[in-house]
């Protein structure tokens, strides 16, 4: 089971750190993805890290501002989000999949967290 947390309301330019924690298993055996969905928009893959490691993926809209990292000791994957913009406002979800494929090509993620809301406004 995945639990996403860390969302909140911030002003433009602010930062948040989202966390994706797992219970009942270790995230080290999974690719992890962070997705977001804004009202009236399709879900967007913003970042992911493959099960085998390697360079993480970032959507063009978040490159240079978001950073994904694993903390194996805490069985948690973080998404550091900096320089927030109003267009980053969305419900952010984490997902996990045991596939060994590069995370960018994974489409049917097996496990989803419940989402954490990020609101950016002045």
Q: How far apart are CA 92 and CA 84, in angstroms?
A: 14
Residue-level pLDDT at 55: 94
* Residue 9 pLDDT > 90: yes
Residue-level pLDDT at 62: 97
* Residue 96 pLDDT > 90: yes
Mean pLDDT of 26-32: 93
- When computed from its CA atoms, the radius of gyration of the chain, rounded to whole angstroms, is 13
**Share of residues in the chain with pLDDT > 90 (%):** 93
Give tens-digit pLDDT for 46-94. 999 999 988 999 999 999 999 999 999 999 999 999 999 999 999 999 9
* Residue 111 pLDDT > 90: yes
Alpha helix ranges (H) inside the chain: none
Mean pLDDT of 3-12: 97
Give tens-digit pLDDT for 30-39. 999 999 999 9
Cα dist from 40 to 44, 47, 62, whole Å: 12, 21, 19
Residues 6+ apart with CB under 8 A from 42: none
CB 51 within 8 A of CB 60: no
Q: How far apart are CA 58 and CA 45, in angstroms?
A: 8
């Amino acid at each position: 089971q995945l639990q996403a947390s860390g969302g909140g309301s911030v002003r433009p330019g602010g930062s948040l750190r989202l966390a994706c924690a797992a219970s009942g298993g270790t995230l080290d055996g999974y690719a992890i993805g962070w997705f977001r969905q804004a009202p009236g928009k399709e879900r967007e893959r913003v970042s992911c890290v493959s099960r085998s490691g390697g360079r993480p993926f970032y959507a063009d809209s978040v490159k240079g501002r978001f950073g994904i990292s694993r903390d194996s000791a805490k069985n948690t994957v973080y998404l550091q989000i900096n320089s927030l913009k109003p267009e980053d406002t969305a419900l952010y979800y984490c997902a996990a999949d045991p596939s060994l494929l590069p995370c960018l090509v994974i489409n049917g993620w097996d496990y989803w967290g419940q989402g954490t809301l990020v609101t950016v406004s002045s």
